[in-house]
Amino acid sequence: MGFFHKHNNNIALAFERVMEYGKTETEKEFVDSLNLITNEVAKSDDYTTNEKLKIYELLTIIANCSPSERSRYAKRLIRVLR
């Protein structure tokens, strides 16, 4: 992984859709959708171990925080995913 490595944007786009749909979903449906993102990151070879750990950390925070706080962490996660 070089300094200017670009990741596959498919996971970032999928996460953005999860966040958009999460506004109208129940908490369980939202967490289930986040788990799909977690699985995609785990299968991806585009991310280093450190990047994956940061992604998992942010996904956990998003799953456990209030809906009003999610957008702040989502912005940080999208930066890591791209």
For the chain, give every domain's residue range.
27-81
> What is the SS3 assignment for 28-68?
HHHHHHHHHHHHHHHHCCCCCHHHHHHHHHHHHHHHHCCCC
pLDDT at res. 61: 97
Q: pLDDT tens digits, residue range 10-22?
A: 999 999 999 999 9
Cβ neighbours for 48, distance < 8 A, ≥ 6 positions apart: 1
Which pLDDT band holds residue 1 (cuts at 50, 70, 90)?
very low
pLDDT at res. 18: 96
Q: Residue 3 CA to chain centroid, in angstroms?
A: 21
Which pLDDT band holds residue 29 (cuts at 50, 70, 90)?
very high
Single-letter amino acid code for the residue at 25: E
